[in-house]
Structure 1
Amino acid sequence: MTPLRFAEGVTLVGGGALDRETLALAKARAPVVVAADGGANWLSAWGEPASAVIGDMDSVEDADGWRARGARVERIAEQETTDLEKCLYATEAPFYLGVGLMGRRFDHTLGALHALLRQPAKRIVLIGEEDVVFLAPPVWRARLEAGARVSFFPLRPVTGVASEGLVWPIDAIAFAPGVRIGTSNAAADETVAARFDDFGMAATVERRFLDAVLDSLTTAEA
């Protein structure tokens, strides 16, 4: 299929834990709304519009109603990918903010992390109740504040090449699931930087640093 192309950031809405404050937070930065299958039910309940509803349509309650309201409804029947992955490969946008994709069901949270790794070239930030999560680019630098929590969890084997501004440097550390992780690190200074040998590291910071994370991904080196 030809991807739907959007000139502005996209808020991806899943069917997991979500409140209206979080949705508004995302929409203020990414005004185009795309529902991942059952995420459309949140929008219906709140009277919120969507540009598109994408997925295998096994959870959306009123696909015909969305068509009548002018939304693009894309049913993708294949079962090799999650609804979030379908949204990502079926659209193109400058960046994505994912809400309703963490919490409630842990298997869906794991699926969202998997989607980050499957689409390393796309700028995607998942917004949770307390945190934001994103796939760290190989060269990442952000302005946070001293003492801010910075956690790294490898989704695949990845090595820390260099770092600055972290309480516990990650230089020359070989990370891998089940072997070595880097959770509960912290910023020692206002500016934090990390370099990795490849994509593969999920980074988590406090939700109040969402804008700093977006800035860091926009300016990240390839």
Structure 2
Amino acid sequence: MPEAVFGDMDSLSGDIQARLAPGVLRPVPEQDSTDFDKCLRHIEAPLVLGYGFLGARLDHQLAAMNVLVRRPDRRCVLIGPEDVVCLCPPELTLDLGPGERVSLFPLAEARGQSEGLRWPLDGLRFFPGDAIGTSNEATGPVRLTFGTPSMLIILSVAHLNALVSGLEHAPRWPARA
């Protein structure tokens, strides 16, 4: 059973709500944000693992990825059946082997540096609708640095532990003003 359920509760049946222990439901009644956004902004944790956000509906996946960029101070990894996704911190080191897929997707302008990628990032300007960095490959351990909280990193779910380990030692983005 969950310890807390945040959201507007519009998609949680009355039957399920009745089965939850008192105090578990934490209604956030506004309709200007997604339930994922409501959860992420109310959870205080060093790392949030989000399951179910990389599922069948593309619009929900995009909304969840948008929240990752809107809440850069809330470290969160979305976990799907094939991939893991998170907002790349200012610096990230990943213990990956040669040939492993490292995809980078900007949700706003991004510039960065890299070590350990087949196609280095140095000197490139990434922007949605323009240059993106999908299907790059590790040549060994990877080190990434970015100046803005706008780049998503997408790895195979097989590298969840490497990502969590890298995030554990990475600096954090500040909250947006």
Higher RCO, 1 or 2 (CA under 8 Å, sep at least 6)?
A: 2
Residue 130 in structure 1 maps to residue 63 in structure 2: no
- Structure 1 partner of 2:175: none
| Alignment: residue pair count | 170
Q: Does the CA-based 8 Å contact 1:53-1:71 persist in structure 2? A: no
Q: Are positions 1:105 and 2:90 aligned together?
A: no
Per the normalisation by structure 2, the TM-score is: 0.92
Q: 2:41, 2:74 within 8 Å by CA — same for their partners in 1?
A: no
Cα shift readout 1:37-83 (whole Å, capped 9, x = no counterpart):
xxxxxxxxxxxx100111111111121221xx345101111111110
Provide the residue aligned with 1:156 in structure 2: 108
Separation (CA, whole Å) in 1 of partners of 2:164 and 2:75:
8
Aligned 1:108-187 pairs, distance under 5 A: 108-160=60-112, 162-187=113-138
Partner of 2:163: 213
Normalised by the size of structure 1, how large is the TM-score? 0.74
Structure 1 unmatched ranges of 5 or more: 1-48
Identity of aligned residues (%): 43
Residues 140, 195 of structure 1: 8 Å contact kept: yes
- Write the distance in 1 (CA, Å) between the matches of 2:37 and 2:79: 16
In structure 2, the residue matched to 1:74 is 26
In structure 1, how many angstroms separate the alpha carbons of the residues matched to 2:68 and 2:86? Answer: 7
- CA shift digits 1:148-206 (9 cap, x unpaired): 0000000111112x2110000000111000011000001011x1011112111000011
- Structure 2 runs not aligned, ≥5 long: 173-177
1:6-41 alpha-carbon deviations (Å, 9 max, x no partner): xxxxxxxxxxxxxxxxxxxxxxxxxxxxxxxxxxxx
Segments ≥4 residues shifted beyond 4 Å: none
